[in-house]
Amino acid sequence: MSDVQIIKHGGAPAFAVVPYELWLSMTQSQASHADIPQAIIELKHKHNCSLISAWRRSKRISQVKLAEAVGVTQSAIAQAEKVGNQPQAGTLEKIAEALGVTVDQLKE
């Protein structure tokens, strides 16, 4: 994130100035996803990815392994992970189970 500015006070980081759009995204995510760990939210923003992708990455599971656990193809997982896509309810439930999270933790 090269757009972030760090302001120091007494030689130590004291404040971070972020672009307004990023701030809105971060605060809306925190408000609507209170059950999602901060690390997942940060991963989502760092990689500009979906919550499904962020959870999968955090658990160090490949798309292929997740696809095998869910019973779909790797390309189906890739589609489910695309930002803005919403998988079918049954698929989302299987992905949540395979990742050890709730369905609500995967919803954008």
| CATH number of domain containing 47 | 1.10.260.40
Q: What is the pLDDT of residue 24?
A: 77
Q: Which mean pLDDT values do the consecutive 10-residue runs of the chain (108 residues) have?
A: 83 89 71 74 93 97 98 97 93 96 90
Q: Which amino acid is at 41?
A: I
Per-residue pLDDT at 2: 64
22 plus 60 within the same structural domain = no
Kindly state whether residues 86 and 63 are assigned to the same domain: yes
Count of positions (residues) in the chain: 108
Q: Is the same domain home to 15 and 41?
A: no
Domain count of the fold of the chain = 2
Q: Is 100 left (phi over 0), alpha (psi -120 to 50) or beta?
A: left
Are 43 and 1 members of one domain? no
Q: Which domain holds residue 43?
A: 35-106
For residues 95 and 33, what is the distance between their CA atoms, to the nearest angstrom? 18
47 vs 55: CA distance, rounded Å: 12
Residues 7 and 42 in one domain: no
